[in-house]
Structure 1
């Protein structure tokens, strides 16, 4: 009598199946070509998300602090989302993911990134540095048509999917913000309550996971004393602009 496959065997079979599916993804002729500026947490997750879709493709990544080989390592191994199941290689020329080439650059000045040459029409600005319309014009000058800021912006229109994306005007909105993680959590709930009952005023509390700017053990933090406490052993007060963003 045939033996039942172990859970480990089934998992390996599942991984091989998923990997093969990713390697034979057929791209659409009218796919959106994306450039990523800043290959940190958000930049890497944007790349992961695009690999499961046929209508978008990342053609280039710019990050002046990470070389191609290290990019491949950081992308492949993720402590939260797990190991990427496809093939990833990196060198001085760029990344090769499931056989597809992704150009990499190391420009400090966004105007020097050759978005136009590589055909990147849309740029995900995920450095956390260029968060205004004026600063993001550098990407437009470099050849991009649209810029999406992965953080709140002082002047760019902010959109949260499921809340106000219908107000997006492609004719005039060349630089937009996708707001913050907290705003994306709060806005959908606030919209439901406001549409059904109305909101005059409110108080919200956000409990955030550990972020990259926090310390693993107690250390000096001159501007924010409590922010210098070890992240794993303390509940640390902080500020958020989510309430203002939702109000907009």
Structure 2
């Protein structure tokens, strides 16, 4: 039996903490083991925010401190507080995979700094600057089988890419897609202030997150085309931050390749969520609000009650997704699958 893959989390913010918590709740727990965390924050703060989470509740296990280590249900996690990849002894810690959750490194040159410092491979919690900056960009359920085990730099794409790509892949194959417009209604993120401030070059992101609906830039169209090259030149996207703490939505407008009906599209999507993709996608027609999907591990939940058609070709869908929890679970899936491929 293969030993668990020894993981380090670099950057222990929202996604880093969700990744650890999701692993604790996952069947992958016997195949992946977090043995190190690198996070500049104080150890007491790290333990506190592991134990208590305003969005996902109390940690469902024992969280303790032992010297400079974090103990999770008795398992020791070495904690360092370095600000550069070179300052961490990845090799000495026996790390097999670094889960890069700081979001600070996006080019191959930046990512190679981890490799040069002794980390054998990285899984990014964000898209790379370009496809060439990593060995693979993976959306689990779409192209994870392409992992050969020899890769060293892999991106898990973005939460929005993971949400829309399975749906677009299915619709492109079954009904055709001429063009698609994606509008993400995304919960606030920690690059926004609670009160107006000077901290961001994007002037809209200097505004209070909880007082406004704020348009922001997005690379979602580029991310979709990276995974589904047949849609190159056919995708446009925009993003709007909304004053909610968690759970986001995507409003999807599709110019279909043939006449369709709302009932037929809903039946197609419902069938897909009951089949092989039931782990990735769910379907509902109940009168939900966004908070109902907090802590939902699916990449997206299709809301059939909101499916609309204008004319015979113009289709409108609404997808819900827990932008933290669903994405953290897909990172786990990719790490677990990658482990099987590593010799």
The alignment's TM-score, normalised by the length of structure 1, stands at 0.82
Whether the aligned pair in 2 keeps the contact of 1:110 and 1:139 (CA below 8 Å) is yes
Aligned length: 219
Contact 2:127 2:137 in 1 (8 A): yes
Residues 19-98 of structure 1 mapped to structure 2, 5 A cutoff: 30-52=3-25, 53-63=29-39, 65-90=40-65, 92-98=67-73
Equivalent of 2:142, from 163, 183, 186?
163
Task: Give the conservation status (yes or no) of the 8 Å contact 2:191–2:205.
Answer: no
Name the structure 1 match of 2:304. Answer: none
Larger RCO: 1 or 2 (CA < 8 Å, sep 6+): 2
Structure 1: gaps of 5 or more residues: 1-27
Q: What corresponds to 2:317 in structure 1?
A: none
Deviation readout 1:145-200 (Å, 9 max, x if unpaired): 210011010222311111121222322x2101011111111111111111223333
Q: Compute the displacement of 1:222 (Å).
A: 6.8
Q: Structure 1 CA distance, aligned partners of 2:219 and 2:10?
A: 23
8 Å contact from structure 1 (residues 70, 90) kept in 2: no
1:144 deviates by: 2.2
Q: What TM-score, normalized to structure 2? A: 0.60
Deviation at 1:54, TM superposition (A): 1.3
More strand by share: 2
| Alignment RMSD | 1.8
Change (3 A) 1:38 1:222: closer
User: In the aligned structure 2, how far is the partner of 1:108 from the partner of 1:207?
Assistant: 32
1:69–1:89 Cα contact (<8 Å) kept: no
**SS of residue matched to 1:116:** coil
Alignment partners' CA distance in 2, 1:226 and 1:93? 40
Aligned-residue offset at 1:105: 1.0
Task: Report SS of the residue matched to 2:34.
Answer: strand
Partners of 2:71 and 2:220 in 1: how far apart? Answer: 37
